[in-house]
């Protein structure tokens, strides 16, 4: 089976749903943010502060290319789709699924968040970022799951059902 890649905006549930899927499937789980942090020995907010977003994106791209194309679940960072190479990779190499959440849902979930540098912004910029990414998620994925009304487990079940697993 092609690896499952979960794609979507910050707070859409990629890591939680990914872990739930690996429980059901008993296969390895990767989180590209965690792999980047482990490789650089630094938290993402510090990578952004010390090295800037562009450097983070370079490492993120290498990390995605290093992910197993079969037999794993991969949760990706919300901005992974900014790179054209990543959009191609996601679309062609993985079963890439867009966890689509509305802006109000994300705002509610990330109300108290302090670890995401690009969420630490004013409302207008956050909204613009959200809007600008929608088309990129669409280009990178083969299936959309609307997550606003779904629990983590229901979301995982929908994915299993879509993939006939
Ligand atoms: C980012 C999302 C984050 C992380 C970094 C940048 C983004 O991942 O990769 O803070 O650009 O949307 P999550 O989507 O897991 O929060």
* Model pLDDT for residues 87-145, shown as the tens digit of each residue: 999 999 999 999 999 999 999 999 999 899 999 999 999 999 999 999 999 999 999 99
CB of residue 61 inside a 6 A radius of ligand 1: no
**Residues 48-86 as b or e (16 or more Cβ within 10 Å = b):** beeeeeeebbebbbebbeebeeeebbbbbbbbbbbbeeb
What is residue 114's predicted lDDT score, i.e. its pLDDT?
87
Rounded to the nearest angstrom, the distance between the alpha carbon of 79 and the centre of ligand 1 is 6
Number of structural domains in the chain = 1
Rounded to the nearest angstrom, the distance between the alpha carbon of 40 and the centre of ligand 1 is 16
Specify which residues 70 forms β-bridges with: 2
Q: Which atom of ligand 1 is nearest to the CA of 60?
A: 9
pLDDT in tens, 2-40: 999 999 999 999 999 999 999 999 999 999 999 999 999
Q: HSE (CB half, 13 Å, CA atoms) of 93? A: 17
CB of residue 18 inside a 6 A radius of ligand 1: no
CB of residue 118 inside a 6 A radius of ligand 1: yes
Domain that holds residue 25: 4-162
Ligand 1 atom 4: residue of nearest CA: 77
Rounded to the nearest angstrom, the distance between the alpha carbon of 26 and the centre of ligand 1 is 26
Q: Provide the CATH number for the domain around residue 22.
A: 3.40.50.300
CB of residue 99 inside a 6 A radius of ligand 1: no
Between CA 8 and CA 81 the distance in angstroms is 9
Residue 44: pLDDT band by 50, 70, 90 thresholds? very high
Residue 164: pLDDT band by 50, 70, 90 thresholds? very high
What is residue 50's predicted lDDT score, i.e. its pLDDT?
97
Between CA 91 and CA 138 the distance in angstroms is 10
């Amino acid at each position: 089976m092609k690896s499952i890649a979960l794609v979507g905006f910050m707070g859409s549930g990629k890591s939680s749903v990914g872990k739930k899927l690996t429980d059901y499937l008993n296969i390895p789980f990767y989180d590209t943010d965690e792999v980047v942090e482990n490789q650089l020995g630094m938290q993402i907010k510090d990578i952004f502060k010390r090295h800037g977003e562009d450097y983070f994106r370079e490492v993120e791209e290498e990390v995605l290319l290093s992910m197993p194309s079969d037999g794993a679940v991969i949760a990706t960072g919300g901005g992974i789709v900014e790179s054209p190479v990543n959009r191609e990779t996601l679309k062609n190499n993985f079963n890439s699924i867009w966890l689509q959440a509305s802006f109000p849902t994300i705002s509610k979930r990330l109300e108290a968040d302090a670890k995401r540098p690009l969420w630490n912004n004013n409302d207008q910029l956050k909204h613009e970022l959200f809007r600008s990414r929608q088309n990129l998620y669409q280009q990178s994925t083969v299936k959309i799951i609307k997550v606003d009304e779904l629990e983590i487990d229901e979301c995982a079940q929908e994915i299993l059902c879509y993939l006939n697993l």
